[in-house]
């Protein structure tokens, strides 16, 4: 019998790639309209997934993809936080 677990896949809103959920970072808009980075993937609210790659974050910022997807304006602080998170994870994986 096949006992392998299914790996949950999510789509990166910037690149359009389907990837395992653990390879993506979730950005959440709460009911109050606050936008935050959700590294756990468990906060309640409208979510969008981005690849943990600098290029994907910069593309999302350039084309305003997150703002369109979450239907709220996104401040530069969120993009900075995403870039810091990506850099931090790269350093830890080495």
Give the pLDDT of residue 2. 65
Q: Does residue 38 sit in helix, strand or coil? A: strand
| Domain 9-93 indexed as CATH 3.30.1230.10 | yes
Digit-coded pLDDT (tens) for 67-85:
999 999 999 999 999 999 9
Task: Tell me how crowded residue 91 is: count the other CB atoms within 10 A of its CB.
Answer: 8
Burial class (CB in 10 A: 0-12, 13-18, 19+), 60: buried
Q: How confident is the model at residue 3 (pLDDT cuts 50, 70, 90)?
A: confident
> Helices (DSSP H) in the chain: which residue ranges?
54-63, 65-70, 76-93
Digit-coded pLDDT (tens) for 29-58:
999 999 999 988 899 999 999 999 999 999
The residue extents of the domains of the chain are: 9-93
């Amino acid at each position: 019998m096949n006992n392998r677990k299914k790996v949950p896949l999510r789509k990166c809103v910037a690149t359009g790639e389907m990837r395992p959920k653990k390879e993506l970072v979730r950005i959440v808009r709460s009911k109050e309209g606050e936008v935050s980075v959700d590294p756990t993937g468990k906060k309640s609210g409208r979510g969008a997934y981005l690849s943990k790659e600098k290029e994907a974050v910069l593309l999302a910022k350039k084309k305003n993809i997150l703002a369109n997807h979450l239907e709220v304006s996104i401040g530069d602080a969120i993009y900075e936080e995403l870039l810091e998170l990506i850099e931090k994870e790269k350093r830890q994986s080495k």
